[in-house]
Every structure is written in C-alpha cells, then in structure tokens.
Amino acid sequence: MNIIIALIIFSFIIIFHELGHFLLAKKNGICVEEFCLGLGPTLIGKQFGETFYSLKLFPFGGACMMRGEDMYSDDDRAFNNKSVPARISVVFAGPFFNFILAFLLSVILIGIIGTDIPVISGVDSDSPAYEAGVRAGDEIIKIDGSRVHNFREISYYLYLEKPNQPFEIEYKRDGKTMTSTVTPKYDKETSRYRIGIKSSGYVKLNPLKTVQYSVYEVRCQIKITLLSLKELVTGKLGVNEVSGPVGIVSMIGDTYTEARSYGFLMVFVSMLNLTILLSANLGVMNLLPIPALDGGRLVFLIIEGIRGKAMDVEIEGNIHYAGLILLLGLMVLVMIKDIRTLLISFLQ
C-alpha cells in the first residue's frame, strides 16, 4: 500500500510538471510527438492526433518529447525553429506548474487545517529567547531581516542557517515593533539547538487569507529547498542526509503508517503536505543550471538570446545526454545509500 501511494503521488507531480511543457508547447505551435509517464520501455500507449501517449516500465520520471528538441529539424513546428522567448516559456512551464500545483494543494490544506502563524504561545523561563526579552503573545516578523510568515520557518532557519550562532529577531508586541538578539542553546534531550519558544498551533483563516498564506506556504517550501541545497554545497549537510526515490517512498510509507491510526482525514492531510513539499522541491531542483534539467536548457537559451546564435543542436543534445547519465548515476548511488539505510534500520 505504501508503494502504491508513493507511486500515485510521484505520478501526479510528474504529470503536472510535464503538462506545463505540453500546454505551452501546444500554445506556441510546437509538435509534441510523445507524452509519457515513467522511463524505459513502453508498457502501453495510444496515438491521439500527432501525439503518442504512453506509460513506461520504470515509474520514475516522465517526458514531453517535442519535435526538434534534441536534434535538427526543418519543420516549422519543431522546437528548435521557434523563437527564444517561446522556447524559454515552454521549458520554464514545467517547474512553474510544480509551483502552481503546490499552491493549489496548499489552498486545500490550509482550508482544512489552517496555518501556523508565528505567534508565540509560551517561552521557557531559562531559554535564550526569554533572556532576550521575548514573551508569550509576541508575533515574530523577521529573522535576520528575512520575513517570517509561518512558525515552521523559525525552526527551519535555526536548523539550516543559524544552529549555534546569534541572530536578530524582530517581533510585534501590543502594536509595537521590537528587536532582540538571540543565541540558540544546545538541548541534549532533542539533540538540537533551540531558543525556547512554543507555537500557538494552527489557526483557521478566511478564504482571502487562505489564498494569501498558500502563497507563503509555497514560498516557505522553496526557501527550505534552497537553504538545504546551500548547506549541501557548503558541506554543512552530508550526502547521507539526501534521499532518492527509495528514501522518499520510505518516508511516505512511514508518514502513512503513523497517520493511519488517526483516521482518513489525517492520512489525507499528511499526504497532501508531502505532495506540496515534493512538488515545490521538484520545481526548484529542475531549475538548477545542470545539463538535462530544465534549468540547464534555460541557460543555453539565455546564452543563445545574448549571442543571437544557437549552439549546434547535436552538441547541445550530447551535453544534455551526458548530464542525464551523470544524474542517473547519482540517483543510483543515492538509491543504494537509501536501501542500505533501510536494511540497517530493519536489522536493528
């Protein structure tokens, strides 16, 4: 059951991503030769008009294959014969649709459970926050000049950005804006640095606020992904903390198992939350300037726009192919790590 739920979530996110490419390709008069879910050999497929719709053997990934995308074509409807702005819009549409999906699902999620506004319900008397003058009822506005809309952002910031360093916190009390400097303290019980504040929990919002905080939710997920990538590049996060498809399936399974005992609504909300996280994450990752990813293709298009001349289609295709091989190799290594972690956990 865990694997089936994970596949449904993955498939939903990927189809929405590829739908972005598909719709913008059609809008710009580009011939889409195949629209598929998965990778590898075709299991089933059917031709509708000019497009072949298919399901592949391996349920990870998907593609919107356009004429003239990776090889030269003299067809007027080929991808390579369209203007640079048209091609940029098609490539960017995939990640953008992931952000749209995350937003739409956030509207549903926040409409059901509300959101964790950054209002403090309590402060530990011996905590760094209390020593800095922060009190219950204060509303956190900014951390180190960065706007805060959700209580979770404070925790993520502490974990990823300033786990053991002083930072400036700006908050409102009785309509007045106040600023303090807080230095996190290591907590042996949780094995984390903390400042000793408690959340007021989730608050239901009116429809307009629900839409507004759905935008904040997507912003929060994008910010977390970017912070995590920064920590990974700088070495503050290790490769062992990166999860591939196997690790994500395991995470989804653990979340489902834990939520199931609380009933259907908790399962639905938990899976919705994970889908938002994964969709926003996929959008950001696809915009990275790496060959084979949408971000890599955007780099080539921007260079073409500046130079006024396209790179040889075959050379660019080979670069993207090499990038794809490297990405698949990295995925295999991460998958091996995930399997090893699961086996160790199972044996213990």
Catalytic residues, by residue number, are: 18
Alpha carbon distance 130, 134 (integer Å): 5
How many H-runs (helices) and E-runs (strands) does the chain carry? Answer: 9, 10
Structure tokens that stand for 282 in this block = 């996929």
Alpha carbon distance 46, 76 (integer Å): 25
63 in Cβ contact with 18 (< 8 Å): yes
276, exposed or middle or buried, with CB in 10 Å at 0-12, 13-18, 19+?
buried
174 in Cβ contact with 184 (< 8 Å): no
51 in Cβ contact with 35 (< 8 Å): yes
User: Which residues lie across from 44 on neighbouring strands?
Assistant: 55
Q: Output b/e per residue, 109-137; b: 16+ Cβ within 10 A.
A: bbeebbbbbbbbeebeeebbbbbbbbeee
